[in-house]
Structure 1
Amino acid sequence: MRNWQQDIPTIQAYWIDRVLFDVHHKEGHLQRYNASPDAYLSAIPLSAEIKALIRDNAVGALYLAGANPYLLRAHCLGLHMPDAEFVASLRAVAGEARRG
């Protein structure tokens, strides 16, 4: 079975989604994340590259890495990312997403 990019479930996709969910649904997590994304992500078993994508809000790259699109959108809304920035990041990887 495949999702939009990868066989599912993958460990990487699970942890990306877990971070996106926890930051916005667990008490105090958003505050900790906003205070220091690197510190918040330090105990998460993801590569430094994927952690940087989360920290830098690299929407398109996170999508390609297997992030659930609904959790990704909710995360960006929770961080007050402008819609134009969100859409531009997805459009930047649109060709890669179709080839996946």
Structure 2
Amino acid sequence: MKSNWIQRIPSQESYWMNRVLFDVHHNESHLARYLENPEVYLDFIPLALEMKKAIRDNDIATMYRAGVNPYLLRAHCLGLRIPESVFLESLRSVASGGKNG
């Protein structure tokens, strides 16, 4: 999978992933619905199952590689109380090309 940081124009997939994270963390009603049932919240989002799973499972590395803005990823981690160490390790794994990268 090519990174959108290399592509000239981000993909529709990256747009929708960014949109989901923005909406969830900038609109309380979206956050409440997401926390209640992420799968139901994501049902109407035009994303491949793999990308919906990455959002649902908080797979930071996969979301970053798919072109999600790192600031939105950071807000996602803060909003869901994902530890800073998990966020940073996920990004480091991408940079090092490790198993999660």
**RMSD across aligned positions (CA):** 1.6
Q: Distance in 2 between matches of 1:3 and 1:52?
A: 19
Q: State the shift of 1:57 in Å.
A: 0.5
Question: Could you tell me how far apart the structure 1 residues matched to 2:80 and 2:36 are?
Answer: 13
TM-score, normalisation: structure 2? 0.86
Unaligned runs of 5+ in 1: none
Shift of 1:5: 4.0
- Structure 2 spans left out of the alignment, 5+ residues: none
Q: Does 1:44 align with 2:45?
A: yes
User: Against the structure 1 CA distance between its residues 3 and 50, is the aligned structure 2 distance closer, same or farther, given a 3 Å change threshold?
Assistant: closer
Query: For residue 74 of structure 2, what is the aligned residue in structure 1?
Result: 73
Matches of 1:72 and 1:94, distance apart in 2: 16
| CA deviation map 1:33-91 (0-9, x unaligned) | 01111000000000000000000111111000000111111111111110011111111
Aligned residues: 95
Distance in 2 between residues matched to 1:6 and 1:71, nearest whole Å: 19
Does the 8 Å contact 1:17/1:68 carry over to 2? yes
Question: What corresponds to 2:85 in structure 1?
Answer: 84
Instruction: Using the TM superposition, give the Cα deviation of residue 27 of structure 1 relative to its aligned residue in structure 2, in angstroms.
Output: 3.5
CA contact (8 A) 1:5 1:64 kept: no
Question: What percent of counterpart residues are identical?
Answer: 57
* TM-score, scaled to structure 1: 0.87
Consecutive aligned runs of 4 or more in structure 1 exceeding 4 Å deviation: none
